[in-house]
Structure 1
Amino acid sequence: MLEAYPRGKTYWARGHVEFNGRKITEYVRKSTGSATLQGAYAWIQEFTEAELRKYHFGEEVLPITFAEASLLADVDIPTAKRLMPIVKQVGDVAIADLSPERIKKLCSKILPDASTDTWRRWIIVPMQRVANAGHAVGRCDKIRVPSFSTQDRLAQDKLRGKKSRQKKTPGSVTWLNNFKLAAHHELYVLARFMFETAARVGQATAMGPEHLKELHRNIVLIPATKGHEEVELEITQELADLLRSITPKAPRNWKNVPENLRVFGYASKDGPRKAWNTACRNAKIEKLVPHGAGRHGFATEMLVRRGVDVATCTAYGRWADKSLFLDTYAQSPEAEKIILEAWGTNSVQ
């Protein structure tokens, strides 16, 4: 067993830790750091208990911190950038100590002028991905944060002086034709591709020549995203001809090798932003974001303007949830006008 003895100005400990009369450690000779005998024996008790736990249950694993877990997470560059301010704030905090309440307070500290929806996308979801990486190696539990309530969302909107969840203006054939007049050819084909296929901008910009291998059959391969696998999609002859009219190239500052070629020449979903906004400005049209012009535009064009049934729209556009499609994507931009005109044609007497 361990005993304390004076050495200089402090007490040291020497001996073995034993269990049932059997030595379970090598010979110990360590400073307790205490100047009193009472303090030395308190240290010996803590040391003995730790060694007994190690003997019975194995090496003690310290709780993983957020910074440590972030090194285990496989994230893309945009997500890594969003994690940087989070690590700065809570990097040395154990994930087990990050309660839902603490995480929600962290959102308002890091992005005080953002909406609750942005907090979830840019802070909570990346934090959950980090916690999942720690959980995968058995170092922590997953992070579960309840959704922000409607009251939370409205209160935050009031604080920042801006309404969230504003309806996005969906793209249309008219908008696309005007966009074509000011955009360079590849950018127009990108917009047209998203509008006709409901592809997300991240999917479109990720496409390389390998995604057009069956273009002679008017077939493109849409990259995987958000729980959906890669899928073959038949497109119109006109869109296929447009895709054939552009030459895949490596994005700016990328090495010009076959594996780096991209159909539209952009490195990521953010690549077209500057040219896109410039084309909108020069065309003197509403500045729609690519998602609104493309995926939202597809939904509204097919369901509302052309009367295609919901099942067909969701199948071709790859929506797993029909309710989400109807609630979020399919919009009637002129709902009031159409209803009023309908009443006008057959007024109640």
Structure 2
Amino acid sequence: MPLEHYKRGRFYWVRGRVEFNGTPITDYYRESTGSLTEAGADDWIAAETNYQRRCHLVGPEAALTFAEAVVLYPANPEAAKQLIPITARLGSMPLSSITEDILKDLGKELKPEASTETWWREIVTPARAVINKAHRRNPKVPGISVSRYAGEELNAQDNKRGKLSKIRRIPANKEWIERFCAAADPHNAALVRFMFETAARIDQSTSITHDHLDPKSYRVWLKAQKGHVATWVVVTPEMMGEILSLPHKRTRSPKTGKLLEQRVFGYASSTSYNERWKRICSKADIPYLSAHAAGRHGFFTELTVRQGINPIDAAKAGRWADPSLPMRIYAHAEAEEADLRALFRTKPVQPKTKKPRKSPKKKGKKDDK
């Protein structure tokens, strides 16, 4: 039976086999297309059928194009928007012919005035994800690894733009947190303390409802995000008490005016906090820090740099699978360079050497005369 779609829940699924001249050339399919519409499911079937027939004729390594891989990739709205110009440029290319240099050079063509960080985030990352998803579907299709922009690549673009690509983040410390909270309303004070204590992301934090709280075990349920699975995170009794004491607060959709579901910290989205935090920081006379700098950067720097906690333990508490990642990105040096240089000029204290004690002279016997 050729591939056909059917609706299962909200999504369209497919069943059947891909045929060539009436002969099945694949195993039996029973999987989701990831599409909410019949038209999207039709596109999925057409792309998969064309791909499998070319695999049958020329082999999988040479069969799949980037445009076909994009159709098979379950992109969220943000990634789909990023993939439109990339597909216009690379769509007809077989995946086997796309190299690291092609992906990295695409930034100069599509976003010539952007930073290398933007190239990485909006071009390299979504394109690489499409290729590697196709590789996971069929290991005979080559995957791809891409190194970060560094050295001359990074410096050349920074010089062209006249500013640095990588913005140095300043992590929050306890003093900043306390001054922020003193000037903030209860919901924002609890929000910043929660992120500083748990390393939760802003979207995870603002999505928390009262159904996500387990007061008896002092736990909060965090949704999955950026490669992290959904999980319970333990908080201090003081933190749980502060959360439970917050007045219930509901917000309206800025587009429709409709009341949204009640969320613990009162924000409807992960970007709503920004302007409010700027006003709080101005009132507290402290530098503005983003939620990411106050939360994840502050959390890891506080534990490892200021309190000397083992990076492996700190990474586990912050739900990083690989401790090298937060050490590279989230741990910030805080010692003054001049103070470190001065250590080389400090004369070490010489231990006092004790003079050897003279051994007492033995009294000899007088000769008898």
Same fold (TM over 0.5): yes
Distance 1:184 1:72, change over 3 A: farther
**What is aligned with 1:263?**
264
Once residues 174 and 185 of structure 2 are traced to their aligned partners in structure 1, the CA distance between those partners, rounded to angstroms, is: 17
Deviation at 1:91, TM superposition (A): 4.1
Q: Residue 70 of structure 1 corresponds to which residue in structure 2?
A: 70
Structure 1 residue 96: Cα displacement: 4.3
- Residue by residue, what CA displacement relative to the aligned partner does 1:269-308 show, whole Å, maximum 9, x if unpaired? 3332333334334433212221111111112222333343
Question: Counterparts in 2 of 1:127-146, with a 5 A limit?
Answer: 127-135=127-135, 141-146=142-147
**1:313 partner amino acid:** A
Q: Which moved more, 1:150-159 or 1:75-84?
A: 75-84
In structure 2, the partner of 1:99 is 99
In structure 1, C-alpha distance between the alignment counterparts of 2:203 and 2:133, rounded to whole Å: 24
SS at structure 2 position matched to 1:71? helix
Aligned to 2:126: 126
Tell me the alpha carbon deviations over residues 193-214 of structure 1, each in whole angstroms, 9 at most, x when there is no partner.
Answer: 11111112232233333321x1
Distance 2:332 2:175 in 1: 16
Aligned pairs (5 A) from 1:161-240 = 161-212=162-213, 214-240=214-240
Deviations 1:73-94, CA, capped at 9 Å, x for gaps:
2233332332233234444555
Q: Does 1:292 align with 2:293?
A: yes
Q: 1:107 to 1:340 in 2, by over 3 A?
A: closer
Are residues 137 and 230 of structure 1, via their aligned partners in 2, closer, same or farther at CA, if it must alter by over 3 Å? closer
Please give the residue correspondences for 1:331-342 in structure 2 after superposition, counting only pairs within 5 Å. 331-336=332-337, 339=340
- Structure 1 stretch displaced more, 203-212 or 290-299: 203-212
Separation in 2 of the partners of 1:300 and 1:343?
26
d(CA) in 2 for partners of 1:340, 1:147: 31
Which residue identity lines up with residue 114 of structure 2 in the other structure? Answer: A
The one-letter amino acid of 2:301's match is T
Q: Deviations over 1:171-222 (max 9, x none)?
A: 012212232344443233221111111112232233333321x123322223
Aligned equivalents of 1:142 and 1:267: distance in 2?
A: 38
**Change over 3 Å in CA distance of 1:95–1:251 after alignment to 2:** farther
Match of 2:313 in 1: 312
Q: Which amino acid aligns with 1:119?
A: W
1:215 touches 1:240 (CA, 8 Å); kept in 2? yes
* Distance in 2 between residues matched to 1:200 and 1:107, nearest whole Å: 28
Say if 1:58 and 1:107 are closer, same or farther in 2 by CA, change over 3 A: closer
CA distance in 1, matches of 2:141, 2:118: 26
Q: Secondary structure at the match of 1:221?
A: strand
Secondary structure of 1:331's match? coil
Deviation for aligned residue 1:63: 4.5
> Unaligned regions of 5+ residues in structure 2, if any?
1-20, 23-52, 350-369
- TM-score w.r.t. the length of structure 1 is 0.69
SS of alignment partner, residue 158 of structure 2: helix
The structure showing larger relative contact order (alpha-carbon pairs under 8 Å, at least 6 residues apart) is 1
**Contact preservation (8 Å) 1:208, 1:248:** no
Q: Distance in 2 between matches of 1:68 and 1:267?
A: 36
From the superposition, tell whether residues 76 and 268 of structure 1 become closer, same or farther in structure 2 (CA, over 3 Å).
Answer: farther
What do you get for the CA RMSD once the two structures are aligned?
A: 3.6
What is the TM-score of this pair, normalised by structure 2? 0.66
Alignment CA distance shift 1:137-1:300 (3 Å)? closer
* Inter-partner Cα distance in structure 2 for 1:99 and 1:312: 38
- Larger fraction in helix: 1
**Cα separation, 1, equivalents of 2:326 and 2:58:** 51
Q: Is the 8 A contact 1:107 1:119 kept in 2?
A: yes
